[in-house]
Amino acid sequence: DTEVTQTPKHLVMGMTNKKSLKCEQHMGHRAMYWYKQKAKKPPELMFVYSYEKLSINESVPSRFSPECPNSSLLNLHLHALQPEDSALYLCASRDAGRNQPQHFGDGTRLSIL
């Protein structure tokens, strides 16, 4: 079991639906990340929150909308997704100290019909 918890584990949605992915950590980490991972590829960075403020957006389409309500929680709101958005969505968190590793959750497997 990881210390970064993601829900739901699986999600199937139509292209017109609105849904949200949730990520929670209670390690006191102040940096949180969203990644997208396709099969047999490494994780691809989407967003970084540092001290609850969005610090990096890797030119992600606006149909993905991140939110950081507090230091333990990270959401990813989804709307009008495309079939190519089907992937494993990973959340990670990192301690604020220098060179600390990122710790990943087990992801949400998203399928767009």
Partner 1 sequence: EDQVTQSPEALRLQEGESSSLNCSYTVSGLRGLFWYRQDPGKGPEFLFTLYSAGEEKEKERLKATLTKKESFLHITAPKPEDSATYLCAVQASQGAQKLVFGQGTRLTINP
Measured from the CB atom, is 75 or 102 closer to partner 1?
102
Task: Check binding of 79 to partner 1 (CB under 8 A).
Answer: no
Applying CB under 8 A, among 2, 7, 82, 111 the residue interacting with partner 1 is 2
CA gap 101, 113 in Å, rounded: 35
Q: How many residues make contact with partner 1 (CB under 8 A)?
A: 26
Applying CB under 8 A, among 27, 56, 61, 113 the residue interacting with partner 1 is 56
Task: Check binding of 98 to partner 1 (CB under 8 A).
Answer: yes
In the complex, which residues of this chain contact partner 1 (CB under 8 A)? 2, 4, 6, 31, 40-43, 45, 48, 50, 55-56, 88, 90, 92, 98-99, 101-107, 109
